[in-house]
Amino acid sequence: MGNLKRKIRKLKKSSADDGTGNSQSAELDYEYRELIKNATSLFNSVNILLRKPFTSEEIMTHSVSGKAGNPKLTPKPKFDSVRFELLRKLCMEKHNEAAPSAIT
């Protein structure tokens, strides 16, 4: 898990430095695509990819929208948008028949 976090930090830093980060982004995309190449459903793909860039603690304490599902509850903070958008993009490419809202 730590290795992936380092790659993401390096990718963010590289993107900020040169404005592209294309080679590292392509490497990370390839790594994630390999993880889900045999996934048979959207649920399986999301389940596999969610556990790579996010820790178990983040999964338990964050939400996709950052809004409370019930007005009586306190809203949880949103997932990191960069990591979540990568997950969403790869899942939609693999399962293009699914609606984007299905990933939530």
Total domains, the chain? 1
Burial (Cβ within 10 Å: 0-12, 13-18, ≥19) of residue 30? exposed
- The Cα–Cα gap between 89 and 33 comes to 11
Question: Could you tell me the residue range of the domain that residue 92 belongs to?
Answer: 2-103
The predicted structure's pLDDT at residue 10: 65
Q: Which two tokens stand for residue 33?
A: 């695509």
Q: Which CATH number covers residue 49?
A: 1.10.10
pTM higher than the cut 0.85:
no
pLDDT per residue as tens, the chain (104 positions):
567 777 666 666 655 544 444 556 677 778 888 888 888 888 998 888 888 888 889 989 998 888 888 888 889 999 888 888 888 888 888 888 888 788 77
